[in-house]
A and B are shown apart, each in its own frame.
Chain A
Amino acid sequence: MKKLILSTALASLMALPAFMPAQAEEPTYGGNMVVTYKDDVATLDPAIGYDWQNWSMIKSVFDGLMDYEPGTTNLRPGLAESYEISEDGVTYTFKLRPGVKFHNGRELVAEDVVYSLNRVVNPATQSPGQGFFSMIEGFNEAAAGTAESLSGVSAPDAGTVVIKLSRPDATFLHVMALNFSFVVPKEVVEEAGADFGKKPVGTGAFKLTEWTLGQRLVFEKNADYWIKGVPYLDGFTVEVGQEPVVALLRAQNGEVDIPGDGIPPAKFVEVMKDPAQAAQVVEGGQLHTGYITMNVTQAPFDKVEVRRAVNMAINKDRIIQVINGRAVPATQPLPPSMPGYTQGYEGYKYDPEGAKKLLADAGYADGFETELYVMNTDPNPRIAQAIQQDLKAIGINASIKSLAQANVIEAGGAGNAPMIWSGGMAWIADFPDPANFYYPILGCAGAVEGGWNWSKYCNEELDMMAAQADSMVDPAKLDERLAKWSEIYMKVMEDAPWAPVFNEQRFTLKSARMGGDDALYVDPVSIPINYDYVYIKE
C-alpha cells in the first residue's frame, strides 16, 4: 500500500495557485461584527442548509474532516489531522485531531463522523446533499433506506475513520469539506429532532447563543476552538429582515459592518462613484457562470449550427453594461478561477453576420420563433431583453417568459423551456472542482426529468471521459486530470448546448473598522465572508 500523507502544503499544490498577499497588519482580538440579511436564516443544520446565506454560517459553527485555506480554494485537513489514500484510490483513512470538543463540552470521536455521514444519507433526513455521497460504498442501500448505514464507513477506533468508496473519485476530499459532511453530536441531534437546525451544536469557531426568529442570530466565540488563535471576533450578530437598500443606508451610517446581500444593483453606480465608499468595497471572482441553455431535444435547437449561431449572436459586453460592469465575459462553462479552466480559449466571438449564415445553413434563413424563460427579479428581465434584441438581429424572435424562480426551475427540469437565461438560478459551484460544473448541469445524470441540465444535453462519450478524469485520484496526476476536464469542456463548447454569457464578480461592502486580508471578504467558499478570520481594527 502506498502511503500518501498529505500535508497542508502538499494539498495546496492540488488546487490552483491562489492569491494571498502578506498581511498588512497584525490581527486584533475582540469586538462584535454586525451582518444583515433580507431573509431569515432557514436553518443551521449542516445536513439541510443549502443556500448561500446559511452556507458560511454553518461553516463557522461546524467543521468537517477537510477544510479550505481561508480566502482560497485550497484544500487542507480540518478535523482530520492527516489522511492516507490506498493505492487503488478507494480507501481513505482519516486520523482525527485529538482533543476537539463540541460546544456542549463533549469530545469528538470517530463514531460522530460515522453518525453524521449516515445521517445525511438517510432518506428520513431529507438532505439536499444526499447525492454528493454516491461514491461511498453502500450508498445505494443507505440512500434507499434498505440499509441502516453506509457499509463503507467505519470507525476502527475513537481516533480513526475509514471510508471505502465504490469507485475512485478525485472529488472525494472536496466532498469531505462540504457542509453536508460536517460533524454533528448524535445525542444533541436526537434530542432536538427537527429543531436541531435552530439549536445547532458543533465544533466550530463560533457557537450560536441566541436566535430570535425573524430578528437576529447571535454567535459567540468558541474559546476552546481547536485552531489556536482563531477566531478574532468576540462574536457577530446577524440581523435579518433588512432590505438591501436599508442595510446599505445603515452601513453608510456606521451601524452595519457587512450588508450580507451586497450592494443593491440600483445603488451600485452611486456607491462606486464615491471614492470613500468605493474604498470599502472588495471585488473578487466567484465560481459562477451565467449562461443561456438551449433545449437540444427540440427543434430548432436540435441542430448544432443553430446553437452555435446563438452563441455568436450574443453581445456579451453589452449585457455586462446592463449590470453596470459587475461581471466579466464568459468564454466557456467554467469560471476563470476554477481549476480546469481553459486559458487562451476565446469562445464564440460576437459575429451576427456569421450567425445569420449558420442559421441559413441549418435551414432557418428566415429565423424562427422561440421562448426565453427568465427569473423575474432585477436585473434578469433586463438581461433577457438584451438577449432578445441580439437574437432579433439574426432573425430569431424570442418571447420572454418572466416567472418566479421556482417556476423557471420547474420548466427547465421538465424540459419545457426552449431557452433559459440562468441568472438568479445560475450554477455556483458547491466545491472548487471542474467535476461540479459537469455532472448536474451538462452530464447525462442531470438531463432527466427534474434535473438541472436544462439543455437536456447528454453526450455519453463525455460522460465516459468525465468518469476517467475523476478516477485519477493520485495528486501527481492532477495536471493530467485537469487537462482532461479542459478537453471535456472544449467538446461541450463544440456542441454548444449553452451560450455562456458572463462570470459574475462579487462586490462586498465592509465597514471601515473591519480588518483582515481582502481575500477573506470575497472568500470563494464562504459567501459573503469568512467569519472566522476577519477582525475589527482598534
Chain B
Amino acid sequence: MAAYILRRLVQSALILLGVSFITFVLLYVLPADPVRQIAGRSATAATVESIRQQLGLDKPFLVQYGNYLVNLLQGDFGRSYLQKTEVAQLLVSRLPATLILLVAAIFCELLIGLPLGIIAALNRGKTVDNGLMLTSFLTVSAPQFVVALLLLYVFAVRLGWFPIGGYGTFAHIVLPALTLGILGSGWYSRIMRSSMVDVLRADFIRTARAKGLSRSKVILGHALPNAILPIIAMIGIDIGLFMSGIVVVESVFGWPGIGQLAWQAIQRVDIPIIMGVTLVSAFGIVIGNLLADLISPLIDPRIKLR
C-alpha cells in the first residue's frame, strides 16, 4: 500500500512537471508579447527591452523554464507581470472560493444525479428511463452560460430568493452550485444507471430477493453499495471537468475563484498567473484521482492496490 502511494506520488509529480512544461511551451510560442502588455502603447523600444531583460524574458527558452522550476520548487510562483502582486498570494486569496464551489457543486451533482440514475435503472427500458436519459443528455450538453443566466434571472432577479451573484453567505452559493449540479448530474445519472443495471442482474441480488428481502432493502442495502463504485472514480474525473467549466460559472455569478483569475490573466498574457492557475488546477485533478483510487478499496474489498 505504502509502495503504491509512493509510486503514484512520483507519477503525479511527473505529470505536473509535464503540465508545467507544455503550458510553458504554449505560452512561449504564443504570438503575443507579454512585455508589450506591461510596457503599454506609449513605450519606446528601449523601455521594452529593459523590461524584457529585467524579467529574464530575453533568455533562451530552456533557461527561462529552468529558472521558473527552480523558483517553483522553493514555493515561489513569481509575481504577476501587470499587478506586480505575488501569484501565490493571488492564488491563496481565490482558492477557498473555488474549493467551496467544488464541494458544493459535486454535492449537488450527486444529489440530483444518483437518485435519477437509480430510478432510471429500476425502470429500465420504460418511458421514465428514456425520459431521464434524454434529460441527462440535454443537461450535459447545455451551455453553462445560458443555464447560469437563466437560473440567475428566474431565482434571483424575478423571484428574489437568492442574491444576484456575489460571494460570502450560504445563499450566494446555491445558484452557482445548482448550475454546476444540474449540468454535471447527467454524467452521474448515466453512470449510476448502467452500473445499477449491471448489479441488478447479478446473482447475489437474485439470491437476496429469493431470501424474501423487501425491494427497498435489496436496492439500498445490496445493490447500491456495489453499484456506487464507478461513481467514486467519476468524482476524481469530475474535478477535471469542474476545473474546465469553472471559468464561465465563476464569471456569471461573480464568484471570486481561480477560474476568474485565469480568464483575466489569459486576456492580458500575464504568464506567471496563467502558470500558477494551471499548475494548481492540475494538482487538484491529480490529487482528486489519487484519492478516488485510494478510497475504492475501502468500499470494495475486492480491489487491491498494487
Contact = CB atoms under 8 A, between A and B. Distances in A.
Interface of A: 38-40, 42-43, 45, 48, 50, 123-124, 126, 128-132, 134, 143-145, 194-195, 197-198, 212-215, 239-243, 245-246, 249-250, 252-253, 255, 404-407, 409-411, 413, 427, 430, 440, 445, 448-452
Given A126-B54, A213-B90, A406 B97 contact: no
Nearest to A408: B32
Nearest to B266: A404
A190 B274 CA distance: 28
A123 B153 contact: no
Contact of A440 (B41, B97, B164): B41
A163 to B, nearest CB: 19
Interface in B225-277: 250-257, 260-261, 264, 267-269
A212 B165 CA distance: 16
Please classify the interface of chain B as helix (H, G, I), strand (E, B), loop, or mixed, using the class held by over half of its residues: helix
A406 B268 contact: yes
Closest 6 A/B residue pairs (Cβ):
A128-B40, A406-B32, A214-B256, A213-B93, A241-B254, A194-B84
Contact of B149 (A132, A212, A245, A450): A245
Given A243-B251, A253-B164, A123 B84 contact: no
Nearest to A50: B40
B36 A450 contact: yes
B83 A132 contact: no
B254 A131 contact: no
Given A241-B254, A243-B252, A409-B36, 18 more contacts: A42-B83, A123-B47, A126-B54, A130-B47, A131-B44, A143-B46, A144-B50, A214-B94, A214-B257, A215-B167, A246-B253, A249-B153, A406-B36, A406-B267, A406-B268, A413-B36, A445-B44, A448-B45
A172 to B, nearest CB: 15
B46 A197 contact: no
A198 B31 contact: no
A436 to B, nearest CB: 9
B290 interface: no
B42 A242 contact: no
A531 B166 CA distance: 23
Given A241-B260, A406-B33, A195 B85 contact: yes
A213 B86 CA distance: 12
Given A215-B167, A250-B164, A409-B36, A194 B47 contact: no
A410 B252 CA distance: 30
B164 A246 contact: yes
A254 B201 CA distance: 58
B224 interface: no
Nearest to B269: A406
A246 B93 CA distance: 23
Given A43-B83, A128-B39, A409-B36, A246 B261 contact: no
17 contacts: A42-B82, A48-B82, A128-B41, A143-B46, A144-B46, A194-B84, A213-B93, A213-B94, A215-B167, A239-B166, A239-B254, A242-B165, A246-B149, A404-B32, A406-B267, A410-B31, A427-B41
Interface in B83-130: 83-85, 89-90, 93-94, 97
Interface in B148-191: 149, 152-153, 156-157, 164-167
B32 A253 contact: no
Contacts of B42: 128-129, 131-132, 430, 440, 452
Interface string B28-70: 0011110011111111111110110010000000000000000
Interface residues of B, number: 53
Contacts of A130: 43-44, 47
Contacts of A40: 83, 260-261, 264
B222 interface: no
B164 A255 contact: yes
B270 to A, nearest CB: 9
B124 to A, nearest CB: 42
B292 to A, nearest CB: 29
B146 to A, nearest CB: 12
Contacts of B156: 249
Given A123-B54, A409-B32, A43 B165 contact: no
Given A131-B43, A413-B36, A126 B51 contact: yes
A409 B267 CA distance: 12
Nearest to B97: A214
B255 A124 contact: no
Contacts of A143: 46-47
Nearest to B93: A213
B82 A145 contact: no
B266 to A, nearest CB: 8
A171 to B, nearest CB: 12
Which of A198, A213, A249 has the most B CB atoms < 10 Å from its CB? A213
Contacts of A42: 82-83, 268
Contacts of A213: 85, 89-90, 93-94, 256
Nearest to A416: B31
A249 B164 contact: yes
B256 A124 contact: no
Contacts of B166: 239
A318 B32 CA distance: 32
B136 to A, nearest CB: 28
A74 to B, nearest CB: 23
Given A249-B164, A250-B164, A45 B84 contact: yes
A25 to B, nearest CB: 31
Which of B48, B54, B256, B268 has the most A CB atoms < 10 Å from its CB? B256
A415 to B, nearest CB: 14
Contacts of A448: 45
A465 to B, nearest CB: 21
A126 B38 contact: yes
Contacts of A38: 251
Interface in B193-207: none
A18 B105 CA distance: 54
B32 A410 contact: yes
Contact of B79 (A128, A194, A242): A194
B11 to A, nearest CB: 33
Contacts of B93: 212-214
A450 B45 contact: yes
Which of B33, B84, B97, B166 has the most A CB atoms < 10 Å from its CB? B84
Which of B32, B251, B252, B268 has the most A CB atoms < 10 Å from its CB? B32
A253 B157 CA distance: 7
